[in-house]
Structure 1
Amino acid sequence: MSVVPHALTPRNAALLLIPPLLWAGNAVIGRMIADLIPPITLNFIRWVLAFVLLLPLAHTILRRNSPLWAHWKHYTVLGLLGVGCYNSFLYLALQTSTPINVTLVGSSMPVFMLLVGALFFQQHVRKRQIAGALLSIVGVLVVLCRGDWHALANVHLVIGDVFVLLATAAWSWYSWLLARTHEPVEARSNWANFLMSQLVFGLFWSAAFSTAEWSGLTGIADPHISWSWPLIAALVYVSVGPAVLAYRFWGLGVQRVGPNIAGFFVNLIPVFTATLSALVLGEMPQLYHAAAFALIIGGIVVSSYKPRT
C-alpha cells in the first residue's frame, strides 16, 4: 500500500519543525551530561519517565482486553526502532566519534528515507526529491565545515559513525512504518495511546540494551551515574520534550506529508543545534548559518513542490 501524503501546508511544516528543534536541544543536553550518565542508560531512563508521564493519559490501552495485544508484532518493531535503537545508537556514537562526524553521517537521513521507501514500500522516487536531498545535504555540510570546505578533509570514519548509520537506518524504517495504517483504532485515534503502545514493547528493548551496557558488552568501562540537580533537570527535559512532544508532532507530520518529505526536516537538527550551542556558549551565529538554513529549506521546498496541472 502506497502512502498518499497531504500538502506541505504551514501547519504541517510547523509540526515537522518542532521535533528537530527539540532533538537539537536533546543533542546539546546530551553533550552537557555525557560525564554524568552512560549513554544507553540515559535513553532507558528518559523513556521510563516518559512512560510515567503518559500513564494517566493512556492507561486504558494497557488493559487486558485492549486490541493492542493483537497487534503486538507491529508495536514490537516500532518499539525496537524508535524507542530502543535510535537514540541508543546515537548516544553511543558520541562516545567514540566527534560531533561533526555524527552529524555528517546523520545528514544522510533523506537518502535513507528515499531508499527505504523505494525498496520496501513501493514508493516512486522523483527527480525533485533527489534534487531536494542534495540541496539539504549541502546545507548541512556548510554548517559542519563552518563555511570552510577544507575542514571536511579532516573527517575520519570510526566505529561511532557506524552506530550513526544504524541509528539513521532505524529511524528511516520507523518513520515509514508510522505511515502504515495497521494499528488499532483505539491507538490511532489517540496520540498518547499510540506512543504508549510503542513504549510498552520499546522499554523491554531499551532495558535489554542498558543491561548490556552495565555488563560491559558495549565497551564502556566503569559505567556510573553521578546524580545531581543538573542531571535531574536534563532528564526531565529529554523525557518531556525530545521523547513525548517530539514523537507526537513527528508522528502527525509524517502521517500528513509522508516520510519522503518529512525526512528532509531532520536535516534542520544541525542548524538548530548550532544555534542553540551558540546561545549556550555565547557564540553569535555566523553568515554560513543563514546560508545553510536557506539551502536546507530550499531542499524541503524543492522536494515537496507539486506543479499545478
Structure 2
Amino acid sequence: MLKRVTTRLWNSPSTLLVLCGIFWGGNAIASRLAVGQVTPLTLVFLRWVLVLAVLWPIYGSEVRAHWPEIRKKLPLIILMASLGFTAFNVLFYVAGHYTTALNIGILQGSMPAFVMAGAFLVHGTRITLVQFLGVLITTIGVLVVATRGNPSTILDIDFNFGDVLMLVACGLYAAYTVALRSRPVMPGAPFFSLLALIAAYTSVPLIAFEAVAWGLELPTLNGVLITIFVAIFPSCLAQIFLLRGVDLIGPGRAGVYMNLVPIFAAILAVAVLGEPFALYHGIALALVISGILLAQRTPKPPKPIAASSRKTQARPQSNH
C-alpha cells in the first residue's frame, strides 16, 4: 500500500511541484520563527551541513565521477553556491528579523523579473512585450509591499530594512538561476549535492566571524527543530521534488508551479503566525501573481499556411 502511494506520488508532477511551493513558502515562516531561537548564520551553516549529511552518501560517488567536467567550471560553481545558497540564505534569514513572513513571501515574486533581466543581459534572451508587461506588474506589486501601500515612501526612501535585504537576496538567487544555464553537463541531484558541499564550506567563515564578534550562541530546542525542518523540507525534499518534476514535464511547465510560493507563504503567515493581512498585501499579492503568469506567456508560433491555400496562391491567373 505504502509503496503504491509513494510510486503514484513520484510519478505525479503536479503533486510534487505543489509540495515544493508549500515547502518554500514554509521557509518564509521558518525565517520568522527562527528569531531568538537560532542565529541566521548558525541556521545557514547547520542547514547545509545536514543537507550534505543526507545527500553526499548517495550522490558523492557521482560527483567524483563527473570531476573532469566539474573542474573546468569550478570557479563558476563556487560562485553559484556562494551567492545562490550561502549569501541568499544569510540575507533571507536576517531579513526575517526585520520584516514579516508575509512580506518575505510576496517579495520572492521579484525573482522572475531579476531572472528575466539577467537572462537578457548575460545570454541575450529576447523579452517580448507581454513578458515585459508581466515584469512591470510584478515590480509594481513588490513596490506596494516595500512601501506598505504608501507611494510617498518611495520619495522618502524609507523602505523597511528587511524588505531591502530580501530584494537583494532575490537578486542573488536570480544570478544563480541565470548561471545554471552554464553549469557542467551532469545530473541535477549530484550537482545539487556539490553545491551543498561548497555552501557548507563557505558558511564556515561566517559562523567563525559570528563566534568571534558576538560569541557562539547555540540554538534552542526550537531552533534545532526549525533547522531540521529547513534542511529536510525547503532544502532536500523541495530540491529533489523539483528535479523530478522537471524530469517529468520539463523546466518551462514546472516553473509555473513556483508561482505558488508567495501564495503559500501568505496563507501560512496568516494561519501559523497570525500576521495581519492588510489590503495592500492583497493588492500586492494579486499584482505579483498576475505579473508572473503574464511574464511566463510565450508567443504562439504562426500558423502554417494550408497546402490548399498555397496552391491557390501559386495558381496563375486566368487571362479571360
TM-score range, shorter chain: 0.7 to 0.9
Q: CA–CA distance in 1 between the matches of 2:141 and 2:67?
A: 46
Q: CA deviation digits over 1:233-255, x for unaligned, max 9?
A: 22221001111223345567789
Partner of 2:131: 129
In 2, the alpha carbon distance for the partners of 1:65 and 1:130 equals: 38
> Distance between the aligned counterparts of 2:69 and 2:81, measured in 1?
13
1:183 is matched with which residue?
A: 184
Amino acid aligned to 2:226: A
Distance apart, 1:258 and its partner CA: 5.7
Contact 2:136 2:291 in 1 (8 A): yes
Distance 1:254 1:175, change over 3 A: farther
Q: Match for 1:224 among 217, 242, 247?
A: 217
Q: Which structure has the greater CA radius of gyration?
A: 2
Residues 284-299 of structure 1: pairs in structure 2 closer than 5 A: 294-299=286-291
Structure 2: state its 5+ residue gaps: 1-11, 303-320
Instruction: Name 1:280's counterpart in structure 2.
Output: 272
Give the deviation of 1:103 after TM superposition: 5.8
Q: How many Å separate the matches in 2 of 1:266 and 1:18? A: 10
Q: Does 1:60 align with 2:58?
A: no
Task: Give the aligned partner of residue 194 of structure 1.
Answer: 191
> Aligned ranges for residues 116-195 of structure 1 at < 5 Å?
116-139=118-141, 149-150=149-150, 153=153, 156-157=158-159, 160-180=162-182, 182-185=183-186, 188=187, 191-195=188-192
Output the CA distance in 2 between the equivalents of 1:23 and 1:51: 19
What per-residue deviation string (whole Å, max 9, x for no partner) do you get for residues 6-38 of structure 1?
A: xxxxx8777665444322211212211210111
Taking structure 2 as the reference length, what is the TM-score of the superposition? 0.72
SS in 2 for 1:26: helix
- Over the aligned positions, Cα root-mean-square deviation in angstroms equals 3.7
Letter of the structure 1 residue corresponding to residue 263 of structure 2: V
Cα distance change, pair 139–32 in 1 and its aligned pair in 2 (3 A): same
Query: What secondary structure sits across from 2:75 in the alignment?
Result: helix
Q: 1:249 to 1:125 in 2, by over 3 A?
A: farther
Answer yes or no: is the 8 Å Cα contact 2:144–2:150 preserved in 1.
no
Matched letter for residue 22 of structure 1: F
- The 2-side partners of 1:275 and 1:112 are apart by 24
- Letter of the structure 2 residue corresponding to residue 200 of structure 1: L
The answer on whether the counterparts of 1:178 and 1:251 sit within 8 Å (CA) in structure 2 is no
TM-score (norm 1): 0.74
Gaps of 5+ in 1: 1-10
Instruction: Return 274-283 or 121-130, whichever deviates more.
Output: 274-283
Identity of aligned residues (%): 27
Output the CA distance in 2 between the equivalents of 1:120 and 1:253.
26
Paired residue for 2:207?
Answer: 210
**Alignment partner of 1:179: what SS?**
helix
Distance change (3 Å), C-alpha of 1:150 and 1:89: closer
Question: Cα distance, 1:78 vs. partner?
Answer: 2.0
